[in-house]
Amino acid sequence: MAFWIYGINPVSEAMRSRCCRIKEIWIATGRNPQAIESIVNEAHAEKIPVGTKERSQLDSLTKNATHQGVAAFIEHFAYADLDGILRRSEGDPLLLILDGMEDPRNLGALIRTALACGVWGVIIPKDRATGITPAVVKSSAGAVFHMPVARVTNITAALREIKERNIWVAGAAADAQTDLYQHDLTIPLAVVIGGEGRGVRPLVKRTCDLLVSIPMRGPVNSLNASVAGAIILYECLRQRATKPHLP
Average pLDDT, the chain: 91
pLDDT digits (tens, 9 = 90+) for 12-41: 999 888 678 899 999 998 777 777 888 889
Which is nearest to 213 in space by CA: 197, 195, 228, 234?
Answer: 228
pLDDT digits (tens, 9 = 90+) for 118-162: 999 999 999 989 999 999 999 999 999 999 999 999 999 999 999
pLDDT at 18: 67
pLDDT digits (tens, 9 = 90+) for 158-198: 999 999 999 999 999 988 999 999 999 999 999 999 988 78
pLDDT digits (tens, 9 = 90+) for 202-238: 999 999 999 999 998 878 777 899 999 999 999 999 9
Which DSSP category does 129 fall into? S
**DSSP 3-state helix, strand, coil percentages of the chain (rounded to 5)?**
40, 20, 40
- Domain boundaries for CATH 3.30.1330.30 within the chain: 3-74
pLDDT over 60 at 85, yes or no:
yes
Which is nearest to 70 in space by CA: 116, 114, 5?
Answer: 5
Confidence of residue 116 (pLDDT cuts 50, 70, 90): very high
Q: CA 136, CA 132: separation in Å to the nearest integer?
A: 6
Residues 6+ apart with CB under 8 A from 27: 36, 40, 50, 51, 52, 53, 69, 70
Q: In Å, what is the CA distance from 66 to each residue of 5, 55, 59, 104?
A: 11, 11, 8, 15
pLDDT at 19: 73
Tell me the average pLDDT across 100-129: 95
pLDDT at 36: 84
pLDDT over 60 at 199, yes or no:
yes
Strand extents, DSSP E, the chain: 3-6, 22-28, 50-53, 70-74, 94-99, 121-125, 149-152, 168-172, 189-194, 210-212
- Domain covering 3-74, topology: 60s Ribosomal Protein L30; Chain: A; (3.30.1330)
pLDDT at 236: 97
pLDDT at 61: 87
Domain 82-242 CATH class label:
alpha beta
pLDDT at 245: 63
Q: Give pTM, 2 decimals.
A: 0.92
- Domain boundaries for CATH 3.40.1280.10 within the chain: 82-242
